[in-house]
């Protein structure tokens, strides 16, 4: 089994939700984060936190040895698609070199399980519904560095007899019902941007492009509640620790358009919202949805929060509490 888990990027949005789930399951949780986009307020006080960078091999090696780490969940990364196009070296250094350094640090250690957060950005554009066997052809630097990370992990784990779970998340949204954690940084994320806008007196929701070849002309994504994503990590760890390794899509296999998200926000607030359609963003895919048959088979998974209004309400709650 597994007991002592180190989460890299554990002070971030998804990492803090995974920590909450693992603690509920009575695991010992250790977090390693350089707080570049992570936040002190997301650190669960029942975890042990190390302020460090994944590229510092000796520090990671020391933690892994001292605390008898048996499993790693590797989330630490730079993750803005737009930024990755402008700063490719940064993405290569953190997502590729950083991943290599983490692996180097666990060589000859007691780590037996390794879970990696990958992304749907590794798939070729224009496929709409993708299974794990769909064509891999990332269009962004971010996607390319994540795919490189996958390959490095697969090779290393096979060679060193470590079980791996590579999880390709689709679009993660929402916040924990505990009300203590949620998304802090504003980035490319639609739900976060709308929740922040909603705090203003006269909110204006912007739609990037209204003439995509989709049911209502706006982009379609497969959004998954962050608590469901966090739960998948625990279930995957429980399976792979029995000498299994796997690559899995993580989503709801359900396409939701930007318009539908906006309608749900409108429904869940009393504020009057103005909606403005502006120019398309470069690099945005029209539609991407996960085929999650493999995930469902592997962990006998049933999502708990597969409902747009629930995700939207949790985002609004978190934003209201934060302000
Ligand atoms: N949010 C999504 O929708 C989504 C979708 C697909 C994949 N992912 C992946 O999930 C993971 C977590 O993303 P998130 O949304 O929680 O983002 P986040 O920015 O909140 O979390 C990333 C964490 O990693 C830390 N970090 C970054 N560089 C580091 C370094 N060099 N050393 C140590 N710590 C470092 C940051 O401080 C932050 O706490 C990432 O690997 C990302 O690629 C996220």
Which positions are catalytic?
A: 142
Determine, yes or no, domain membership for 245: yes
CATH number at residue 126: 3.40.50.720
- How many domains in the chain? 2
Residues 92 and 134 in one domain: yes
Out of 75, 172, 290, 315, mutate this one to test ligand 1's pocket (max ligand atoms within 8 Å of CB): namely: 75
Protein residue with its CA nearest to atom 3 in ligand 1: 172
Residues 144 and 229 in one domain: yes
Instruction: Answer whether 94 contacts ligand 1 (Cβ < 6 A).
Output: yes
- The pLDDT tens digits along the chain (323 residues) read 899 999 999 999 999 999 999 999 999 999 999 999 999 999 999 999 999 999 999 999 999 999 999 999 999 999 998 899 999 999 999 999 999 999 999 999 999 999 999 999 999 988 889 999 999 999 999 999 999 999 999 999 999 999 999 999 999 999 999 889 999 987 778 999 999 999 999 999 999 999 999 999 999 999 999 999 999 999 999 999 999 999 999 999 999 999 999 999 999 999 999 999 999 987 788 999 999 999 999 999 999 999 999 999 999 999 998 76
Residues 159 and 268 in one domain: no
| Distance (Å) from CA 216 to ligand 1 centroid | 31
Domain span holding position 274? 174-221+253-288+305-322
Residues 156 and 213 in one domain: no
- Please identify, by atom number, the ligand 1 atom nearest to the C-alpha of residue 33: 34
Instruction: Answer whether 147 contacts ligand 1 (Cβ < 6 A).
Output: no
Summary mean pLDDT of the chain: 96
pLDDT value of residue 186: 77
Residues 24 and 145 in one domain: yes
∠ CA 149-153-157, rounded to 5°? 180
CATH number at residue 275: 3.90.25.10
Residues 21 and 83 in one domain: yes
| Distance (Å) from CA 274 to ligand 1 centroid | 32
Protein residue with its CA nearest to atom 32 in ligand 1: 53
Determine, yes or no, domain membership for 294: no
Q: What would the pLDDT profile of 40-80 be if each residue is shown by its tens digit?
A: 999 999 999 999 999 999 999 999 999 999 999 999 999 99
Pairing of strands 220-221, 256-257: antiparallel
pLDDT value of residue 99: 98
Residues 71 and 216 in one domain: no
Determine, yes or no, domain membership for 297: no
Determine, yes or no, domain membership for 300: no
pLDDT value of residue 285: 85
Determine, yes or no, domain membership for 111: yes
Residues 51 and 100 in one domain: yes
Determine, yes or no, domain membership for 77: yes
The pTM of the full predicted model, rounded to 2 decimals, is: 0.97
């Amino acid at each position: 089994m597994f007991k002592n888990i180190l989460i890299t990027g554990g002070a971030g949005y998804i990492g803090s939700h995974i920590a909450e789930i693992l603690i509920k399951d009575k695991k010992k949780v250790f977090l390693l984060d350089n707080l570049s986009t992570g936040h002190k307020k997301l650190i669960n006080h029942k975890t042990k936190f190390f302020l460090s960078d994944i590229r510092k091999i000796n520090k990671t090696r020391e933690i892994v040895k001292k605390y008898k780490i048996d499993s790693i969940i590797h989330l630490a990364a730079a993750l803005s698609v737009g930024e990755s196009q402008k700063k490719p070296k940064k993405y290569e250094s953190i997502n590729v070199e950083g991943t290599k350094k983490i692996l180097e640090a666990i060589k000859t250690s007691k780590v037996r399980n390794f879970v990696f957060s990958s992304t749907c950005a590794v798939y070729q554009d224009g496929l709409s519904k993708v299974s794990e066997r769909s064509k891999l052809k990332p269009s962004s630097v971010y996607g390319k560095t994540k795919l490189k990370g996958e390959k490095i992990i697969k090779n290393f784990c096979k060679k060193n007899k470590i079980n791996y779970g590579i999880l390709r998340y689709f679009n993660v949204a929402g916040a924990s019902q505990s009300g203590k954690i949620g998304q802090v940084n504003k980035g490319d994320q639609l739900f976060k941007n709308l929740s922040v806008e909603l705090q203003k007196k006269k909110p204006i929701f912007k739609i990037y492009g209204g003439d995509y070849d989709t049911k209502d002309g706006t982009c379609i994504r497969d959004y998954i509640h962050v608590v469901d994503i966090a739960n998948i990590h625990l279930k995957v760890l429980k399976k792979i620790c029995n000498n299994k390794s796997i690559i899995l899509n993580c989503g709801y296999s359900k396409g939701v358009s930007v318009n539908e998200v906006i309608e749900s926000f409108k429904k869940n607030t009393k504020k009057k919202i103005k909606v403005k359609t502006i120019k398309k963003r470069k690099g945005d895919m029209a539609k991407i949805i996960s085929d999650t048959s493999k995930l469902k088979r592997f962990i006998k998974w049933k999502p708990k929060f597969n409902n747009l209004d629930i995700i939207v309400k949790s985002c609004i709650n978190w934003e209201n509490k934060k302000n």
